[in-house]
Amino acid sequence: MEELAILGGRPVTEKNFNNYNTIGEEEKEEVLEVLDSGVLSAFIASPGDFFLGGEKVRKLEQEWADYFSIAHAVSMNSATSALIAAISACEIGPGDEVIVPPLTMCATATAVLANNAVPVFADVDPETMNISPAAVEKLVNKRTKAIMVVHLAGFPCDMDEIMAIAGKHNLYVVEDNAQAPGALYKGEFAGCIGHIGVFSLNCHKTIQSGEGGIAVTNDSDLALKLQLVRNHGEKCVAGVGLEGKFDHIGYNFRMTELEAAVAIHQLRKLEYLNDRRIKLADYLTERLNNECSFIRTPCKADDRTHVYYIYHMQYDEKAAGIPLDLFAKAVQAEGIPLYSRWGSPIYTLPVYQRRNAYGNGNCPFEPPYHDRDVSYPTGLCPNAELSEETSLFMFAVVRWPQTTEDMDNVVSAINKVVTHKEKLLQLSEHVTCE
């Protein structure tokens, strides 16, 4: 094999893996209809015909509900907004606690803080990196009002166990399904099993409208509350018959007609795009399992599907003989966007370590909002903390328009780095691992 690229050799591939554009003529035509109409948003913050938005928003919501076999779909301007709305719709507020996973995008937990409630972190399963039902059970107390799960990287959580715990303790379950649209758990769509599920249409997701989110539920009462939080609900609560029954404020979380027009056709492509991801990931997994024993490939299970928003691996540094960060840097130099360290548990962020979400006198961590000490020390979630030291991941590699040839290049790059590891280690002091 040639010299390592990180040491001046030629890389295995020079492909741009970030080239991802699934926008076609269908989206363009739908958007042009909106532009020609001149109605870019039709929401009005008062009870009536346009409390629920315009034609494209309602069309998207109906198609989303039909596709996922769910009673209600409520569009938002982002999945973050939808998570905030979901916690609010469950009437969670000061003094309440929500159990959340530590490995996720930060918005999962800050949606709890945004409602003046307290996130309590449950450790993850060391195999899947999803929230551990056993860890959740240990944290339930009289203040607990909900469990929020994240179907991390595209692999569904153990929902039977989570729903059993919630039923036992009369808790809500909110599914952050931003990373697993279309994934199945025992024949049901992830995101459609708990009381509220949240999907993302952010520009990085499998299907996207630039920004956007969808909250889904089978509960008509929760659906109405989601709609109130989305559209200045304090102005509308009396008109929909909830005066004195739902006192949470609303926001402008409304999706535009333009975003909805794009999302309608992106939804129709979901099955195709997921199918491509799964086929490429399965091919890559087989090759890695056969040739790279120092890498543990993503979890698979017979009772659920993985849709591989992220291709997440565990790395055995001792078996490979190359430090984690140096290995990732060397593979990157070969043209493969492989990264080390999934990320620190989100409770290590300053807002949790300093417990200063809203400043002095208005902090959910302290009286009068909360009556017990909640802290986030090192060692709180040991499995999550350990994962940072062993994780490798690829974001764009298994998505359209990549091919099996690209998967072969991933394996070739990894094998090239390992083959030349002695020279790499000798010169490692000249390699900066950021």
Q: How far is CA 79 from CA 108, 311, 346, in A?
A: 9, 21, 18
Q: Which carries the bigger pLDDT value, residue 125 or residue 365?
A: 125
- Is position 210 within any domain? yes
Provide the pLDDT confidence category of residue 362 given band limits of 50, 70 and 90.
Answer: low
Q: What is the pLDDT of residues 283-322, one digit of tens each?
A: 999 999 999 999 999 999 999 999 999 999 999 999 999 9
Q: What is the DSSP string of 158-174?
A: -HHHHHHHHHHHT-EEE
For 180-215, how does the pLDDT look when each residue is reduced to its tens digit (9 = 90+)?
Answer: 999 999 999 999 999 999 999 999 999 999 999 999
pLDDT band at 130 (very low <50, low <70, confident <90, very high): very high
Within a domain: 368 = no
- Is residue 358 scored above 70 in pLDDT? no
Residue range of the domain that includes 281 = 5-22+270-343+385-430
Average pLDDT, rounded, for the chain: 94
Average pLDDT over residues 73-102: 97
314 and 224 assigned to the same domain? no
Last residue of a domain, one of 216, 244, 269: 269
pLDDT at 370 over 90: no
Q: What is the pLDDT of residue 19?
A: 86
Residues 306 and 214 in one domain: no
CATH number, domain with residue 71: 3.40.640.10
| Euclidean distance between CA atoms 241 and 173, whole angstroms | 25
Measured CA to CA, the distance from residue 208 to residue 264 in angstroms comes to 10
Same-domain pairing of 156 and 291: no
Same domain for 404 and 309:
yes
Cα distances (Å, whole numbers) of residue 272 to 40, 161, 267: 29, 30, 10
- Per-residue pLDDT tens over the stretch 102-114: 999 999 999 999 9
Q: What does the pLDDT average to over 133-155? A: 97
157 shares its domain with 240: yes
Is the pLDDT reported for residue 359 higher than 60? no
Q: pLDDT tens, 377-430?
A: 999 999 999 998 999 999 999 999 999 999 999 999 999 999 999 999 987 665
Q: Are residues 125 and 226 in the same domain?
A: yes
> Is 353 inside a domain boundary?
no
Angle 79-89/220-230 helices, nearest 10 degrees? 120
Predicted confidence (pLDDT) at residue 50 exceeds the cutoff of 90: yes
Same domain for 249 and 135: yes
Shared domain for 303 and 164, answered yes or no, is no
Contacts of 360 (CB under 8 A, 6+ apart): none
Task: Please check the confidence at residue 357 and state whether its pLDDT lies above 70.
Answer: yes
**Is there a contact between 174 and 148 (Cβ–Cβ < 8 Å)?**
yes
Number of structural domains the chain divides into? 2
| Integer angstrom CA distances of residue 140 from 34, 72, 95 | 48, 29, 14
Banded pLDDT at 247 (limits 50, 70, 90): confident
Write down how long the chain is.
434
Closest CA to 338 of 396, 293, 297, 385: 396
Let me know if residue 349 belongs to a domain.
no
Domain end position, chosen among 269, 295, 319: 269
Question: What does pTM read for this prediction?
Answer: 0.95
Neighbours of 400 (CB within 10 A): 18
Mean pLDDT of 32-55: 96
Query: What does DSSP say about strands 213-217 and 72-76: parallel, antiparallel, or unpaired?
Result: antiparallel
Examine residue 228 and state whether it is found in any structural domain, yes or no: yes
Res. 1: pLDDT tops 70: no
In this predicted structure, what is the pLDDT of residue 295? Answer: 98
Pair (78, 130) in one structural domain:
yes
User: Per the domain annotation, does 216 fall within a domain?
Assistant: yes
Of 269, 303, 326, which closes a domain? 269
Average pLDDT value for residue range 225-244? 94
Q: pLDDT at position 49, please?
A: 86
